[in-house]
Amino acid sequence: MTKKGVTLIELLVAIAILGILLAIAVPNYSEWREKNSIENDVHKMYGLLSELRTKAFTEKMSVDFSFNGTNDVLTASYDNNSANVNLQNEFEFVGSDVSIDTRGTYSGSSIKPVAGSTISQVDCISVNDTRIATGKWKSGGCEHE
């Protein structure tokens, strides 16, 4: 009785408790990861749109945006150059493609995820003539924050 150690029963109880904790944590982690990836993609696209609007206005050039065949890369084409944003999710234009003219004015409509997101608070970009805004896709439109 003087030997110290862990009994088989204590080890099984510790493994059972760990299993219960993992069963609770894994679904929450998966949901957090999906939400974070969509919101991260939206902010990347928003940053590229904003940056190139300033560039179009100051350098008097036009910019055209397009998605690749799988809708997971947003490409901006301007003055024989291009800029890309690699996305973790697939997105699409609602209506026409987005472009920016030499005055820095947007044309086009919204950008939304191909597979709708129910958990993200920000999952789309609303585009109008003079501004863009991030928002949540609801009932056929992007509602700004």
Q: What are phi and psi of 48, to 5 degrees?
A: -65, -45
Query: Could you report the per-residue pLDDT of 16-58, keeping only the tens digit for each?
Result: 999 999 888 887 787 888 888 889 999 999 999 999 999 998 9
Query: Could you report the per-residue pLDDT of 68-112, keeping only the tens digit for each?
Result: 988 899 999 998 889 999 999 899 998 888 999 999 899 888 888
- What is the rounded distance in angstroms from the CA atom of residue 80 to the CA atom of residue 62? 11
Residue 141 reports pLDDT greater than 90: no
Confidence of residue 11 (pLDDT cuts 50, 70, 90): very high
Supply 89's token pair.
């999710």
Residue 118 reports pLDDT greater than 80: no
What pLDDT score was predicted for residue 117? Answer: 66
**DSSP secondary structure letters along 6-36:** --HHHHHHHHHHHHHHHHHHHHHHHHHHHHH
Average pLDDT over residues 126-145: 84
Q: What is the CATH number of domain 8-144?
A: 3.55.40
What pLDDT score was predicted for residue 1? Answer: 62
Q: Tell me the sheet residues that pair with 84.
A: 75
